[in-house]
Each structure stands twice: as structure tokens, then as C-alpha cells.
Amino acid sequence: MGREENLFVIRRNGGSANDSDHYAAHGEMGGMKDAIGYSNMEDARIFLSREQAQAYIDRVLPEWARKEHHPAQIRHRDVALVMPRLSGLLYLRENGVEIPPELLEPNKNKLLIWRR
């Protein structure tokens, strides 16, 4: 069995790789509990496997949001040249380098789009 070389994000159903439809955070925003903050793929929370992303959806996302999201694989064609953070993480993953958990966290310095 080969080593895992893929990375995943959580994408809102109906979203695309080029949209700001990737899960970054959730919590209270503007008085609304359990709102979800979305960003582009480059600044979203990253997962090391499809199973890890699905488990996060099942256990951490607000109940109302679980059916609205799915794990999405990060592909080189989606990130090459335009998303250096993800290209670098894919390179590390493909070469068997362990990725520190803090590099998988969403970018805290980006403005998120909040929805409920």
C-alpha cells in the first residue's frame, strides 16, 4: 500500500475550486450562532485524508451544516502557480515529509465570508 499523497479541504456543496466556498472556521458572527466562515482553497483548513475531513464534518461542524459540505481533494491543476501554500504542502506530502499541524490551520489573517 502506497503512502497517502493527497490533501483535502471541506467544500460547500455546489462550490468550486475557484470560489470562496471552502471551510475555514465556524462560530458566532454578527449575533448568529454556528455561522460558518468560508475562504478560498488557499486559506481554508487542510486535512491529510478524505476520512479525516469527513470525520471533521460529522463531529465538529454544526448539525445544520453537515449535509451541506463534503471533502474535496486538492489537485495540482487547481493550485499550480496560483496557490503557493498548497503547492508547497502537496510537494511535502508527495515526498513523505510529515506536515506540522499548524500548517494545516486556516489563514487567520484573511477576511472570511460568513454564512448560515
Q: Is residue 114 part of a domain?
A: no
Q: Which long-range contacts (CB under 8 A, 24 or more apart) does 52-55 make?
A: 52/8, 53/8, 53/9, 53/10
Name 45's Cβ contacts closer than 8 Å, sequence gap at least 6. 9, 10, 23, 24, 25, 56, 104, 105, 106
Q: Is residue 35 part of a domain?
A: yes
Q: Is residue 116 part of a domain?
A: no
Reported as a single tens digit per residue, the pLDDT across 50-109 is 999 999 999 999 998 999 999 999 887 777 767 888 888 888 988 999 999 998 888 776
Number of H helices, E strands in the chain: 3, 5
* pLDDT above 70 for 2: no
**Which residue range forms the structural domain that includes residue 67?**
7-109
Number of domains present in the structure of the chain: 1
Residue 39: per-residue pLDDT: 86
Q: Is residue 47 part of a domain?
A: yes
Global pTM reads: 0.79
